[in-house]
Amino acid sequence: MDEDECVKYIQSYPQLKHILPSMIQGVAKSKNLIVAGQRAEFELRLGSYDTQSKRFTSGVGRNQGDKIVISLDQARWDSTTDWTEQHDYFYNLPDNIGPVRQEVIINSDNFEVTINILQKNRVWLCDCPKVVPFNASRSKTNGNTKLLCIRGCVSSENLLPPDILPPVINPSMVRIKQRKSYVTGAWRFDLTLAWMGLTRTKAEEAQANSPAIFEVELECIDHKYLMAHTDAYVAASALLKLTDLLDQEVFAVTRVRK
């Protein structure tokens, strides 16, 4: 890591001082995967961090999610998509294959269906909850303190052949998603409304009767961009894009896993 470059970004953007060094490590991990010939995924996502259980939960409250939608809709983008529905089926396969995800993407314009089978292996993650002054009020649920959190995540992702699934198999979980995307340069924001259940019927019941999980993700979608710039530049660019949606609040690292 180029410490001088990291210091330069922190001096210019002090809200990044607690988290930029760790995110730089994440970018380096992504580059290592690309050099090894793998499909690398470097992304940031928003969620909540429970300071008692030390657990991260993906998604933000609906009010905050609506504000983010308005903010993104008002910005200029290279391209955007309409809300598109997608069904994810999760399976645990034998013979040392492990968990896989089948994506069923429905084009709302022509009703064409695209099916992909993916296997994702997480390589690195970093949880960075919001820094809250000692005397500030904090939202509590069941006595647990929860803070807005940025999670950085690096994964390798493999596209598997369609025949890898047996003719008859039950999913371990089903997720219904409605997603809208915004693309600028090498970056894509994904906003997702998600409902889950152990079966498709249960997921549809959740969609009909329960509020959605509102997920916010920012992903680097251009490996050439990732390799062409320094780790600090890519990490700072990602963090600034996301924290701009959050009034440049300050976050700090609490957990890094490799």
| Any domain includes 241 | no
Give the residue-averaged pLDDT of 94-119. Answer: 87
Q: Per-residue pLDDT averaged across 131-156, rounded?
A: 69
In tens, the pLDDT along 35-60 reads 999 999 999 999 999 888 889 999 99
pLDDT of residue 191: 97
Between CA 248 and CA 242 the distance in angstroms is 9
Q: With a cut of 70, say whether residue 224 has pLDDT above it.
A: yes
What letter would DSSP give residue 132?
-
User: How many domains does the structure of the chain reveal?
Assistant: 1
Contacts of 33 (CB under 8 A, 6+ apart): 39, 40, 123, 154, 156
Residue 244 included in any domain: no
* pLDDT digit string, tens, across residues 170-183: 999 999 999 999 99
Q: What is residue 112's predicted lDDT score, i.e. its pLDDT?
A: 85
Going 117 to 122 to 235 to 13, the CA torsion angle's sign is positive
Q: Is 234 contained in some domain?
A: no
- Whether residue 126 is contained in a domain is answered as yes
Map 14-53 to HEC letters. HHHCCCHHHHHHHHHHHHHHHHCCCCEEEEEEEEEEECCC
Residue 225 lies in a domain: no
Higher confidence at residue 118 or residue 252?
118
CA angle 83, 196, 53 (to 5 degrees): 115
Whether 239 maps to a domain, the answer reads no
Q: 137 is in which domain, residue-wise? A: 11-54+81-219+253-257
DSSP 8-state code for residue 169: -
Q: The domain that contains 146 carries what CATH number?
A: 3.20.100
- Domain annotation covers residue 1: no
The owner of tokens 């995540």 is 153
Cα angle, residue 83 at apex, residues 74 and 205 outer, rounded to 5° = 130
86: left (phi over 0), alpha (psi -120 to 50) or beta: beta
SS3 89: strand
| pTM of the complete model | 0.90
The pLDDT tens digits for 180-212 are 999 999 999 999 999 999 999 999 999 999 999
Decide if 5 is inside a domain.
no
Residue 46 to residue 50: CA distance in whole angstroms = 13
- CB 123 within 8 Å of CB 33: yes
Give the model's pLDDT for residue 258.
58
Return the closest-CA partner of residue 53 out of 130, 142, 151.
142
